[in-house]
Amino acid sequence: MVGLYIYDRLNSYQHCPEDERLNEGIEIGMHGRQSNSFIIELPTPREKRPSLLLFIFVITASFCIAWFISDGLLSTRRRGSHQSNGDGDSIVKKPDSDLDGTEVADEDVNIGRIPDLIWGDEFNGDQVDMTKWTFINGNGCDVGLCGWGNNELELYTPSNTHVARGKLIIEAQQNRGGSGIRYSSSKIVSRGKADFGVVETDVYDEDETAESNEALERSRRFEAKLKLPWGHGIWPAFWMLPTHNMYGGWPKSGEIDIMENVGKEGPNTVHGTVHYGLESPQHQYAESGITISSQKPFFNPSALSGKLNETFHTYSVERQPGIIRWYIDDIEYSSITKADMLPYNWPFDEDFYFIVNLAVGGNWPGNPVDVDSSSRDDITKFPQQLEVDYVRVYEGVFPRIVGKIVVDCSEQDVEYEIVNIETDDETLFTWSVPQNATIKTGQGSRRIVVCFNSKIDGSDILDSEIIHVQASAIDNQSASSSIGLAKIQGNGIGTRVKIVDFNGKCSSMNELYPRLKDYNFDCGRPSTCTAFVLNKTTDEYTCGERIEWLINKLGMNEEEACKEVAYKQFHGHCGPCNPFVRDEQ
């Protein structure tokens, strides 16, 4: 269990362990910048003066009356982040995003259109619903793609899928006959039966600024509840492909991988990925994985605990114009925006359809380890089963946490806030934070201030930490009255925070925080080609190592090397260092 700090809401200030450093003049924070947070010292009861209180009361009352007249009576729509779409739904702008990974919440972003379930399959019958799904059969050779383009070994057949006890079960089997087909499995798709793009709005204008844009943060969430198989060479996937290929063949029109697990990595690592770009060798992908600790849950209660092949977990993406977010059990662990993909095309606002399959073997997972040909202890057992409890599509706005997603291991006064939710004085929020962090202020409220300090103790810390919150008594509404409220009142919601050591202050105590390597180049993009980006791993090497090698070993100049790595080869990971995209874009 990670640190969980609960204080009385009216007395929730905690002294940060690193505050003494600030007083000594040592800068703490991302790239040496100090936090913008501040403390307002209220007068003690002895210092209060009736005249001052009366003045404050009169001013406050006047302001409230003026607001009520202008915004409550005379306006046909609410200003700022809230708009009306004419159907009684509240419209919410998405928060601005800072270059260091901070999402800056608009003060008014509290209410969203309550999410609706607009499509789903609960698998309550006794067979696959063919009005929603189509079987894909064979091994890909009939479409000129033997092994499905990945050197997979399975033959897809409908007979490997059945529905029982409210679950869809796809079973991968090993065939020992003389047919030449060693493995069989199943793949189902929803193309032409359930195809979804982003929510279109007449008021959205991507060229407008965040302050003037009337765009709605109204997203669609694509979600499945799954229990994964596990074994070397086993490759379950829940993903999406474009319905119409508006921008050309793969990968130009995109691919969205909501969840992939490759057995050789163990049962508790999943990946979220998008594929885009041009034909090889300029096929691009942006991938982010997350590993769940089965021995040491990130937080209490038990969400994200237990092996992913032993219990059911939810996997989802949210899509809205120009942005995709990935979730596991309502923990946001990755996102990508249209700006991240420049100068390549963003194809992900078009219609996409679902694919659920269980592959065997391939370039990424490797092949199964056969009992007849190996004495290894990781022999792949068959049959393997992918169980699906449901597949759903929601439309609306879900509660989420905004704040920095990359922090220094000793960074202070980092704010996190719940947005897209309506609250009142009866709402109690219980937050938990990474093990070596403390909640300075705000426990019980919608916004907290966190102090990170990896030297508090020497316990093991995963490099991907979780900020998590649960809520109770939200507006006296029952959990069933809103999907979004049900999630935050149930196991809660969270966001992943990547903790790094920017300045070497934490490495001596904990080798899990290696100091980021300093490079003497920034590809001409100092505000985006940061030390964090240059230290991102692409396969076996970091962005910076690849650029440095091209400069030192092949004699390229900085611009040529940055273009080769950040544009042609590894745009999905190193794109912020692409010298041919201006920072202001």
Cβ atoms of 224 and 392 closer than 8 Å: yes
Query: How does strand 161-164 pair with strand 167-174?
Result: antiparallel
Give dist(CA 33, CA 27) in Å, integer. 7
CA distance 135 to 421: 40
Q: What are the angstrom distances between the C-alpha of 123 and each of 120, 135, 221, 389? A: 9, 15, 19, 7
- Name which of 386, 412, 86 is nearest 228 in CA terms: 386
Active-site entry in 154, 260, 318, 411 = 260
Residue appearing with tokens 């380890």: 369
Our answer to whether residue 260 is catalytic in this structure is yes
Residue 551 to residue 572: CA distance in whole angstroms: 21
Which residue has tokens 């991907």?
A: 464
Residue 419's contacts (CB-CB under 8 Å, 6 or more residues apart) are 92, 95, 105, 106, 109, 110, 399, 400, 401, 402
Q: What span, in angstroms and rounded, lies between the C-alpha atoms of 496 and 335?
A: 11
Q: What tokens does 432 get?
A: 């938990």
**CB contact set of 581 (below 8 Å; sequence gap of 6+):** 342, 343, 525, 575
Q: How far apart are alpha carbons 269 and 160 in whole angstroms?
A: 25
**Tokens linked to 264:** 């050789």
- What is the longest distance spanned by two Cα atoms in the chain? 95
Task: Tell me whether residue 18 is one of the annotated catalytic residues.
Answer: no
Specify the amino acid at residue 49: R
> Would you call the peptide bond into 158 cis, given omega within 30 degrees of 0 as the criterion?
no
DSSP reduced 3-state for 265: helix
Alpha-carbon distance of 134 to 325, in angstroms, equals 27
Q: What are 32's two structure tokens?
A: 């040496």
Among 171, 217, 223, 255, which one carries the catalytic annotation? 255
Write out the catalytic residue numbers.
255, 260
